[in-house]
Amino acid sequence: MTIKDEAVKVRQGEELNIEAVVKFLKENIEAFSNINLKYISNNLLIEQYPGGFSNLTYLLKVGEKQMVLRRPPIGAKIKSAHDMVREFKILSAIYPVFPYCPKPLAYSEDESIMGCSFYVMEKIQGIILRKELPEGISFSKEQARQLCEKLVDLHLYLHAIDVKKAGLDFIGKPAGYVARQVQGWSERYRKAKTDDAPDFEAVMSWLEDKKQPDTDRPALIHNDYKFDNVVLNPEKQMEIVGVLDWEMATYGDPLMDLGSSLAYWIEKNDPPECQMIRSMPTDMDGAMTRLEIIERYGRKSGRNMDKFDFYYCFGLFRLAVIAQQIYKRFHQGFTKDKRFGLLIHAVRVLENMALRVIDQSKL
Backbone angles phi and psi of 179, in degrees to 5:
-60, -40
Return d(Cα 341, Cα 273) in angstroms, integer: 17
| Average pLDDT, rounded, for the chain | 92
Query: Can you tell me the mean pLDDT for 140-157?
Result: 98
Q: What pLDDT, in 10s, does the model give residues 252-270?
A: 999 999 999 999 999 999 9
What is the predicted pLDDT for the residue at 6?
A: 77
Which domains are delineated in the chain?
Answer: 18-122 (3.30.200.20), 141-360 (3.90.1200.10)
More confident residue, 290 or 8: 290
What is the predicted pLDDT for the residue at 242?
A: 97
What is the predicted pLDDT for the residue at 50?
A: 81
CB 126 within 8 A of CB 241: yes
Instruction: Choose the weakest-confidence range: 3-12, 21-30, 137-146, 167-176.
Output: 3-12
Q: Is it the case that residue 276 has pLDDT exceeding 70? A: yes
Q: What pLDDT, in 10s, does the model give residues 47-63?
A: 998 865 568 899 999 98
Q: Is it the case that residue 277 has pLDDT exceeding 90? A: yes
Q: What pLDDT, in 10s, does the model give residues 61-88?
A: 998 899 999 998 875 554 444 588 888 9
What is the predicted pLDDT for the residue at 209?
A: 98
Cβ contacts of 96 within 8 Å, gap of 6 or more:
166
H helices present in the chain, as ranges: 18-28, 37-43, 84-94, 111-114, 141-159, 177-192, 201-210, 254-262, 272-275, 290-301, 308-331, 338-341, 343-360
Query: Can you tell me the mean pLDDT for 163-189?
Result: 95
